[in-house]
Amino acid sequence: MARMSPTLLEWPAVPDASRAARMLLLRHHRLHPLTMAALAMALLVAVPIVFVVASVLAPAGETWRHLVETVLAEYVTNTLWLLLGVACGVLLLGVTTAWLVATYRFPGRGMMEWALVLPLAMPAYVIAYAYTDALQFAGPVQGWLRALMGWGAREYWFPDIRSLGGAIALFSLVLYPYVYLTARAAFLQQTLNTLEAARLLGHGTWSRLWRVMLPLARPGIVAGTALAMMETLADFGTVAYFGIPTFSTGIYRAWFSLGDKTAAAQLSACMLAFVVAILLAERASRGRAEVYGNQRRAPAYPLAGACGWLALLACAVPVLLGFLVPALMLCRMALTDGDAQFGPRFVGLIRNSVLLAGTTALAAVGVALAIGYAGRAANARRAWLVRGLTRVCGMGYALPGSVIAVGVLVPVARLDNALSAWLHQQFSMAAGLLLTGGIAALVYALLVRFLGVALQAVNAGLGKITPSMDAAARSLGHGPGATLRRVHFPMLRGSLLTAGLIVFVDVMKELPATFVMRPFNFDTLAVQAYNLASDERLTEAATASLVIVAAGLLPVVVLSRTIRRGADS
């Protein structure tokens, strides 16, 4: 009778087979080095968030009790009104323009498709400086009105741009492209069969919009609105310059004016509750809704005559007010200023900004590539772990820069002091503050803030590479590292460049984290523009603001070209 081949339970009787089985089991259960590295990176990203959440458990001090009794209710009220107003504004501008360019053909439609994205290049605090200079009492608009109407100083009423309503209007003008992009994509995905069925059932233009198109596009619209609301929540420069008490300004005042880091961390935890509420609302509105249909898109219907020109006007107004007019204002301010800030100081600001943005972009691309490829190389048993890592690393983009600054600076400062004391005790070295004394802690905070952007771009690039190429590389004897270096990296160059470019520009525009965590004598263009504007030196702030806007145009141009190619295909 032929002997049966040994099973796994019989292998311990044979030494060689036992060793092979143990090695096989260990290899199956232990984590791959790439997964372990990704886990370590995700834990570093989670440290600031954990610290902010844990600050809720800290005992309330005098500062916190003072804030609760005096200004906390005002912070909550202003933040809620600001979020509600911006949500309504971006919905009105974004959905209207997306519906027009996706559904109808009118004069200038091809240009409007990509021009409507341009306000993304204009940071909210920059457009606030431009409109304040133009609309203030001594500005050109009120001066022209007084000369035209013959009015005196107190003989007319003019709306105050530096108010809660003004902030809502300016945020809406620069953040509506988030809703425009997601709503336009959702409208373009709606099929001809669906719209024709609604037409046969007697639904007219407005009825189809309200009862068919908007419900189908709701997930994309809500996602874009949530992004705009989180950007509003993260802003510091605009609300601080306008003097609006919100959580962003409250965190800064608690830290630097009152000198209480614990109170700043507790305010950050309250602000984090707003972020969680926005994300949960977006998730709940999306639910399990899915849209099915054939791939035949509905054609764009022509708008002739006055209707076509009205559609063009409706699309042109947000572009004019959100980009062209403030850009021209900044140019006028920079050219009419006798000292346009050019010189060694300005060159140093550009150097600091580029150094900070470039270092963060390289770090973000490297970490995103490691985490993204770890998810691709993981087997089914580790898939849940890698998905969790990706979600943790993407949380930073949903958090305001001021919250991340609090979550990073306090634990890193403690580590820095402990490291300096240990070096002095062991080696008699006066090392100083190695982490917070330079830009290392600031780069870490910005990496936490913008890693999710880079990770999304890298994962999109990896998704376009078929798994059969990985199998072919393994069959040729390449391990994960060699496969990444020789197969995936050459194919991911475009995605990596896109990720690096987006992170670079986001860091160039970032103000809250940079303003709080920058080391001594290390200012950037964003910090310089804010400091000059706070001193009411708006014409001098225009030069730095123009450079920030010019840098922000780079990803917008790339995005516009992508939109244009998608429209032509």
> Tens digit of pLDDT per residue, the chain (569 long)?
444 444 433 434 444 545 544 444 444 445 566 667 777 777 787 788 777 777 767 777 788 888 888 888 999 999 999 999 999 999 999 999 988 888 888 888 888 888 898 898 888 989 998 899 888 888 888 888 888 888 887 778 888 888 999 999 999 999 999 889 888 877 777 655 566 565 666 565 666 666 666 777 777 788 888 888 888 988 888 998 999 999 888 888 887 778 777 888 888 888 888 888 887 777 777 665 555 444 555 566 778 788 889 989 999 999 999 999 999 988 888 777 545 556 677 888 888 898 999 999 999 888 888 887 776 666 545 556 666 666 677 777 767 787 888 888 878 877 877 777 777 777 777 666 666 667 888 888 898 888 887 887 777 777 777 767 766 767 777 666 666 667 767 777 777 887 888 888 888 888 888 888 888 888 888 888 888 888 878 788 888 888 888 888 877 777 666 665 655 55
H helices of 235-339, in order, are: 237-242, 247-252, 261-286, 306-319, 325-336
Q: CA-to-CA distance for 181 and 555, rounded, in angstroms?
A: 14
- 31-37 long-range contacts, CB within 8 A, separation 24+: 31/382, 32/374, 32/377, 32/378, 32/382, 32/480, 34/370, 34/373, 34/374, 34/377, 34/480, 34/481, 35/374, 35/377, 35/378, 35/382, 35/385, 35/386, 37/370, 37/374
Distance of CA 68 to the CA centre of its chain: 30
Q: CA-to-CA distance for 506 and 365, rounded, in angstroms?
A: 14
Q: What is the pTM of this model?
A: 0.79
Same-domain pairing of 480 and 507: yes
H helices of 30-163, in order, are: 33-54, 62-70, 72-103, 109-115, 124-135, 140-149
What pLDDT is stored for residue 406 in this prediction? 80
Helix 261-286 vs helix 401-427: angle between axes, to the nearest 10 degrees? 130
Q: Please indicate, yes or no, if residue 479 is contained in any of the structural domains.
A: yes
Q: Please indicate, yes or no, if residue 9 is contained in any of the structural domains.
A: no
Q: For residue 46, what is the domain's CATH number?
A: 1.10.3720.10
- Give the list of residues 6+ apart from residue 395 with CB closer than 8 angstroms, or none: 45, 46, 49, 452
Q: Please indicate, yes or no, if residue 562 is contained in any of the structural domains.
A: no
What pLDDT is stored for residue 404 in this prediction? 83
Q: Which of 336, 365, 387 is the last residue of a domain?
A: 336
Q: Please indicate, yes or no, if residue 554 is contained in any of the structural domains.
A: no
Contact 52, 265 (CB under 8 A): yes
Number of domains the chain contains: 2
Contact 123, 237 (CB under 8 A): yes
Contact 439, 359 (CB under 8 A): yes
Same-domain pairing of 315 and 401: no
Contact 428, 401 (CB under 8 A): no
Q: Please indicate, yes or no, if residue 5 is contained in any of the structural domains.
A: no
Same-domain pairing of 478 and 331: no
Q: CA-to-CA distance for 90 and 537, rounded, in angstroms?
A: 30
Q: Please indicate, yes or no, if residue 20 is contained in any of the structural domains.
A: no
Contact 340, 443 (CB under 8 A): no
Q: Please indicate, yes or no, if residue 523 is contained in any of the structural domains.
A: yes
Q: CA-to-CA distance for 563 and 556, rounded, in angstroms?
A: 10
Q: Which of 319, 336, 353 is the last residue of a domain?
A: 336
CB atoms within 10 A of CB 481: 12
Q: Which of 309, 336, 363 is the last residue of a domain?
A: 336
Q: CA-to-CA distance for 126 and 140, rounded, in angstroms?
A: 18
Same-domain pairing of 309 and 453: no
User: Letter for the amino acid at 3?
Assistant: R
Same-domain pairing of 272 and 419: no
Same-domain pairing of 375 and 476: yes
Q: Please indicate, yes or no, if residue 484 is contained in any of the structural domains.
A: yes
Q: CA-to-CA distance for 43 and 314, rounded, in angstroms?
A: 47
What pLDDT is stored for residue 173 in this prediction? 94
Same-domain pairing of 368 and 323: no
The token duo for 567 is 């429209």
Q: CA-to-CA distance for 2 and 24, rounded, in angstroms?
A: 27
Same-domain pairing of 330 and 427: no
Contact 457, 502 (CB under 8 A): yes
What pLDDT is stored for residue 28 in this prediction? 45
Contact 519, 439 (CB under 8 A): yes
Q: CA-to-CA distance for 526 and 377, rounded, in angstroms?
A: 40
Q: CA-to-CA distance for 444 and 408, rounded, in angstroms?
A: 8
- Find the domain containing 436 and state its range: 32-70+338-534
Same-domain pairing of 315 and 426: no
Same-domain pairing of 332 and 462: no
Q: CA-to-CA distance for 390 and 396, rounded, in angstroms?
A: 11
Same-domain pairing of 234 and 322: yes
Per the listing, tokens 């989180």 go with: 230
